Amino acid sequence: MEVDFSNIKVIGFDADDTLWVNETYFRDTEEKFADLLDCYETKNKIDQELFKMEMANLETYGYGIKGFMLSMIESALDLSNNKVSQQTIVEILDLGKKMIAHPVELLDGVEEVLSGLVGKYRLIVLTKGDLLDQERKLEKSGLSKYFHHVEVLSEKKENNYSNLLEHLNIDVNEFLMIGNSLKSDVLPIINIGAKAVHVPFHTTWAHEMVAEDEIVNNHLKLNNIKDILKYLEN
């Protein structure tokens, strides 16, 4: 299928699992969390209960590591009927702090793509994580020099994108979004009439999953972000 990119002037990049690895660290931390609580429940039950707690707290905490830490603590208290040891709470805080301090691992092809596009397009980072986390990761990644700035959205729904394009004075026809999440980076973008490129990451958080048949058939799907250069660099 063909997607026409000839009008594009501004490109928004999702950050986590598009520019750098992220979801993998959440999965690793969930494993460690389950190990800490394995005297109370099965790994499977712990996983399920933590996910439920995250969903129950999502409206209150939003996205990002701090809310995840608070949900782990609450879930540990809940799963253990308030018997979890104080030392375990200390270790949960430590797991979260380690996630925040984790080095940034760029995904394959990212640097090549950004250096190929910089100067030709206005490049922005568009994320729903925590602003401080994302700015820190961008700095650690060495990619700051390619980006005009970082925008954090509390959600990535159609109206969040529409408001953003409006306040940055970007015409919807001139905007392209690149990201790993169909739900957050592709579907709402297509629905407002902008363009989207989907670059799947091997791990997707259950909350970000959509059924394949929800996919609208007018975006480009790439296995490696590098392939975008064939469409944009000319």
Of the residues 168, 192, 210, 215, which one makes contact with a second copy according to CB under 8 A: 168
CB of 179 to a second copy, least distance (A): 18
130 touching a second copy, by CB under 8 A: yes
Using CB under 8 A, count the residues that bind a second copy: 39
Rounded CA-CA distance 169/172 in Å is 9
CB-neighbour burial class of residue 35 (10 A; exposed 0-12, middle 13-18, buried 19+) = exposed
Classify residue 37 as exposed, middle or buried by CB count within 10 Å of its CB (0-12, 13-18, 19+). buried
Q: Does 44 bind a second copy (CB under 8 A)?
A: no
What is the rounded CA–CA span in Å between residue 138 and residue 132?
Answer: 10
Reduced to 3 states, what is the DSSP secondary structure of residue 129? coil
Among 44, 119, 145, 167, interactor with a second copy by CB under 8 A: 167
Binding of a second copy at residue 200 (CB under 8 A)? no
Cα dihedral: 141, 143, 149, 150 (round 10): -30
Q: Does 208 engage in binding with a second copy (CB under 8 A)? A: no
Closest CA to 127 of 2, 4, 213, 19: 19
DSSP 125: E
Alpha helices by DSSP H, 62-146: 65-79, 86-101, 110-117, 131-141
**Part of the chain binding a second copy (CB under 8 A), chosen from 30-38, 76-84, 174-182, 209-217:** 76-84
Under the binding rule (CB under 8 A), the answer on residue 149 touching a second copy is yes
Q: Provide the mask over 100-129, with x wherever binding to a second copy is found by CB under 8 A and - wherever it is not.
A: xx----------------------------
Q: Residue 222 in contact with residue 176, Cβ under 8 Å?
A: no
Q: Which listed residue (148, 183, 221, 226) binds a second copy by CB under 8 A? A: 148
Least distance from C-beta 72 to a second copy, angstroms? 11
Q: How far is the CB of 87 from a second copy (least distance, A)?
A: 6
Q: Does residue number 12 form part of the binding site for a second copy (CB under 8 A)?
A: no
Report the number of secondary-structure helices (H) and strands (E) in the chain. Answer: 9, 6
Residues found near a second copy in the complex (CB under 8 A):
60-62, 64, 66-67, 69-70, 73-74, 77, 80, 82-84, 86-87, 89-90, 93, 96-97, 100-101, 130-132, 135, 148-149, 152-154, 163-164, 166-169
